[in-house]
Amino acid sequence: MGKDIRISVRVTDKEKQIIQVKAKKCGLSASEYVKQRALGYEPRTVPPGALFVLLEKIGNLESKSTSAELNAEIEKLLKEITAVLLLPGKEKK
């Protein structure tokens, strides 16, 4: 199923600038940002590169570990970090 329907919205120049700045902070196009917000998601701002370095280091610990229990905990932590800091979240109502 392709994206074949367009929705147009009129905004003021100032509103457009605000949307574009917020979208850029999230690493999204203005269209994707508006779509995520309209669907109830709160797009996350793009975290600093240091976060990705730390995530990689945590992942490397998992590959060095010989404990299945520790590996499971590391994997759980990586998923939690990703969910909290990287993935868009649904708004709390």
pLDDT of residue 33: 94
pLDDT of residue 65: 83
pLDDT at 6 over 80: yes
The stretch 61-82 carries a mean pLDDT of: 88
| Three-class SS of the chain | CCCCCCCCCCCCHHHHHHHHHHHHHCCCCHHHHHHHHHCCEECCCCCCHHHHHHHHHHHHHHHHCCCHHHHHHHHHHHHHHHHHHCCCEECCC
pLDDT of residue 22: 93
pLDDT digits (tens, 9 = 90+) for 8-45: 999 999 999 999 999 998 889 999 999 999 999 988 88
Q: Which of 9-18, 51-60, 78-87 has the highest mean pLDDT?
A: 9-18
Domain ranges in the chain? 12-46, 47-88
